[in-house]
């Protein structure tokens, strides 16, 4: 089976508070999304890389993507939610995929993806029935609160993980799961809703998601220290 990367990048990044969608913010002189696309295009573990963009996207065409090579294909079929964008992308590539091919869904908003993250995920998920995802064990003590921000109780963190991306599942299983469960914030949730149990592969905190302005500074620091 082949492995395809699918990168949803059709969000507007409202929590960043800027004009420009966060996938196009400048990070070390390049659009944020280009960092993880470079890693996905460069690894021999991935056969093709599809980017799901909004039909209203006005930014993609302003950059030269040819430096990333022939694996990269933009798809202008983004949806109203992340899950809709991923499902739209899966439908758009149906004529290029076999049922048993793997799809690695990676957030455009995670620019610090490193080659070892992809390698470890692929290696550890290769023999799994269902698939899996990068994740990190929760470090903080977690509080469950009411709407007035009073603690109801402390949630034991021993078996809690933070989900990251890439999330790697078989094409047909992922598509079916997302068709059935639309209101999910990641692919694994859809798979879980189908009664299945994705495997967690331990990554690390450098694979952060750029959500708030501080994250952009952290990402810059991480990438800069990795290059040197
Ligand atoms: O908003 P959030 O950080 O959860 O977005 C995660 C990823 O999903 C981002 O890469 C974003 O561009 C993408 N997304 C999308 N279509 C949407 C909303 C978000 O592709 N409608």
To which residue do tokens 């699918």 refer?
6
Does ligand 1 have an atom closer than 6 angstroms to the CB of 10? yes
d(CA 179, CA 173): 10
* Dihedral angle sign, alpha carbons of residues 161, 165, 170, 174: positive
Report the pLDDT value the prediction gives residue 77, as an integer from 0 to 100.
Answer: 97
Ligand 1 atom with minimal separation from the 210 CA: 3
Total domain count, the chain:
1
16 CA → ligand 1 middle, Å? 12
pLDDT in tens, the chain (228 residues): 999 999 999 987 677 777 788 999 999 999 999 999 999 999 999 999 999 999 999 999 999 999 999 999 999 999 999 999 999 999 999 999 999 999 999 999 999 999 999 999 999 999 999 999 999 999 999 999 999 999 999 999 999 999 999 999 999 999 999 999 878 999 999 999 999 999 999 999 999 999 999 999 999 999 999 865
84 CA → ligand 1 middle, Å? 10
Q: Where are the alpha helices (DSSP H) in 73-212?
A: 82-92, 115-125, 171-180, 187-193
Does ligand 1 have an atom closer than 6 angstroms to the CB of 16? no
CATH of the domain at 15: 3.90.550.10
Report the pLDDT value the prediction gives residue 45, as an integer from 0 to 100.
Answer: 98
Report the pLDDT value the prediction gives residue 145, as an integer from 0 to 100.
Answer: 98
Whole domain around residue 74: which residue ranges? Answer: 3-227
Report the pLDDT value the prediction gives residue 228, as an integer from 0 to 100.
Answer: 54
Does ligand 1 have an atom closer than 6 angstroms to the CB of 85? yes
């Amino acid at each position: 089976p082949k492995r395809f990367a699918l990168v949803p990048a059709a969000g507007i990044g409202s929590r960043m508070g800027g004009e420009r969608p966060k996938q196009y913010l400048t990070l070390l002189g390049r659009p944020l999304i280009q960092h993880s696309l470079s890693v996905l295009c460069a690894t021999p573990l991935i056969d093709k890389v599809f980017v799901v963009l909004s039909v209203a996207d006005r930014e993609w065409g302003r950059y030269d993507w040819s430096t990333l090579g022939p694996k990269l294909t933009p798809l202008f079929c983004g949806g109203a939610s992340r899950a809709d964008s991923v499902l739209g992308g899966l439908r758009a590539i149906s004529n290029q995929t076999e049922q048993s091919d793997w799809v690695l869904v990676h957030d455009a908003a995670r620019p610090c993806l490193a080659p070892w993250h992809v390698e470890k995920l692929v290696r550890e998920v290769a023999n799994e029935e269902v698939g899996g995802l990068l994740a990190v064990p929760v470090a903080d003590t977690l509080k469950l609160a009411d709407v007035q921000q009073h603690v109801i109780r402390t949630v034991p963190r021993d078996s809690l993980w933070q989900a990251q991306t890439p999330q790697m599942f078989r094409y047909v299983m992922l598509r079916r799961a997302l068709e059935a469960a639309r209101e999910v914030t990641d692919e694994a949730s859809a798979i879980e809703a189908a009664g299945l149990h994705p495997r967690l592969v331990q990554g690390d905190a450098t694979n952060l998601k750029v959500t708030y302005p501080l994250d952009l500074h952290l990402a810059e620091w991480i990438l800069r220290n990795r290059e040197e």
